[in-house]
Amino acid sequence: MLEAANETSVVPKQQTLMGPRGEKRIESEVAGYPFFQILGGRGAFSVTVGVLPPYWRPAVKYLPGYKSGSERMKNLARIANTAIDDRIANPTDRNDLLNKLIGGQDAEGKPLDRMGLAFESVTILIAGSDTISEYVSTSKDMVHQDILFLCILSSLCAICYYLAGDQRAQEKLQKELDEKLRTEDELVVTADQVKGLTYLDACINESLRLRSTFPFGLPRVVPKGGLEVIGQYFVEGTVLSMPNYTIHHDVNAWGKDSDVYRPERWFERDQPAIQKAFNPFSMGPR
């Protein structure tokens, strides 16, 4: 994809997976899918459909705007499935995320089934990866690059966006950087130095609060014995989720100006309260 200077991913139009690990596939003619266009378009679809009542979702997918988003979701799954199938059919010792998924095991020592591999691969496509630069520079396999390479920089873009629009915050951040880093001769900032940049940390967190990587809450299953949440009882096995947007704009935790970008709130508000209400990357095991 990078060598061709375009975003097209070539995958079979139809895929028939055989066996729990997808060892065989019957495929029709191939088609080219605009990878990043698909990736960007499915985001709005997922977020809007995700907050709709479950009984609305089967119907709205046929509306013009939602229909295209639904098709993009299917195409994204096709791209992921193609990469999985090709890797299973052509094993390699390459140390990358796809091999990690295929070699992964659950608590009982069982490998991921075919559906699990697909779900996790799509998650990687959506969430991106910071561990593929060397692999991308050496690999000639464009299909495998598609599964591992993703340029979603939504969080970084949000940080730059809010700082660009707030000169006061820019100046305050620049002052901290000059004071904490100007005495160092090294061009590369160390991890220990970054830990001391408290206002930078507040700027990042405030951006993530307003523009979370996951605006929707990732689902969690109610454990055995059930669970009571704010007076409402949920039986075991129930899937629960809370939109991060709602949590991150809760005036009880963030103040009456919760819609405003103001990094100083991270030093003013009750720390235990805001940490409980800060959920940009979800919580708990993935």
User: How far is it, in rounded angstroms, from Cα 98 to Cα 84?
Assistant: 7
pLDDT tens digits for range 122-162: 777 666 533 333 333 333 343 333 333 333 456 777 888 89
The pLDDT of residue 126: 66
Four-residue CA torsion sign, 23, 27, 30, 31: negative
What pTM was computed for the model?
0.53
Average pLDDT over residues 181-206: 81
Look at residue 199 and tell me whether its pLDDT is greater than 50: yes
Domain boundaries, the chain: 8-148, 154-276
The pLDDT of residue 201: 94
For the ranges 19-28, 49-58, 120-129, 182-191, which has the lowest average pLDDT?
19-28
The pLDDT of residue 249: 92
User: How far is it, in rounded angstroms, from Cα 75 to Cα 39?
Assistant: 9
The pLDDT of residue 151: 36
Residue 30's DSSP bridge partners are 12
The pLDDT of residue 209: 92
The set of residues, in sequence order, having a beta carbon less than 8 Å from that of 32 and lying 6+ positions away, is: 8, 9, 10
Look at residue 24 and tell me whether its pLDDT is greater than 60: no
pLDDT tens digits for range 47-78: 677 667 777 878 877 787 777 777 777 777 77
Look at residue 40 and tell me whether its pLDDT is greater than 80: no
% the chain with pLDDT above 90: 24
Residue 209 in tokens: 């609060």
* Count of Cβ atoms closer than 10 Å to residue 5 Cβ: 6
